[in-house]
Amino acid sequence: MRRLSLLGCIAALLVSQSVLATRYPLPPEGSRLVGSTQVITVPEGNTLPLEAFAARHELGLSNMLEANPGVDPFLPRPGTQLIIPQQLILPDTVREGIVVNVAEMRLYYYPKDGQSVEVFPIGIGQAGRETPRNWVTHVERKLAGPTWSPTPNTRKAYAQEGKTLPAFVPAGPDNPMGLYAIYIGRLYAIHGTNSNFGIGLRVSQGCIRLRNNDIKYLFDNIPVGTRVQLIDQPVKTTTEPDGSRWLEVHEPLSRNRAEFESTKKVPLPIAPALRAQLVSAGGEAALERRSGMPVRIGM
């Protein structure tokens, strides 16, 4: 299913925000449920788009849309109650370095002190220019003031839209990579942006995009050599120490152009046996709804 094609309209509406990551105390081994859901009310006289509320609470636009279906993304109606989905299930991975879950468009950073996890919303690659989905690498280098040399294919794609893209973009506030870049592998980077949109959307050429204050925080705190793992987990489950079972389901990324253009939901990439187990535990509605929020499905 198309994962938001509102970019051109939304871009003109968005505002910059100055919040940083959501920090959660790291739960003990055997537990992966953190945070809590909030509810806010859109104030009277509101003139801000949904993205502004997402940025204020350190979420991506997709996170807000999953949790609040039917809300006007351009101008939420005053008096509307918005769910702020800040409860989540940590990915089922090692708690080390950076973990990027492209399916939920979040970056998890585990500081070396082992006491917390910091969660950042991200923008990822467009359909056909994918951010890697199953990859373990590391931070190779960091650069303040990155330059950008778009590939010939990127320039051609822009030209087809009637836009002229230079072969080289110097460092500075007009650079699409923003003011800081953390390079992972040879071809990809975690970087900032020169536009106040795209967080929680598929907008990049394959790299991982963060709001500017977020990338500066990571740039200042993450050393070269840090482990980086990219995963694709639209379905996350956990059985907590008290025996409760939880299920978090995100709309999966389209796998090809046909799925991206379709109005149908993308099939969830889970094994039939796991689906049957989740359905028998009361998770069928959560699998269908795909709210991006943990749902308790049984003991």
Active-site residue, from 9, 57, 191, 250: 191
**Token pair for residue 37?**
């859901």
Distances (CA, A) of 239 to 1, 275, 287, 290, 297: 30, 16, 17, 19, 10
Nearest to 204, CA basis, from 100, 123, 101, 132: 123
Is 9 noted as a catalytic residue in this protein? no
User: Is 232 within 8 Å of 133 (Cβ atoms)?
Assistant: yes
Is 207 noted as a catalytic residue in this protein? yes
Which amino acid, 34? V
Active-site residue, from 9, 57, 138, 207: 207
Residues annotated as part of the active site: 191, 207
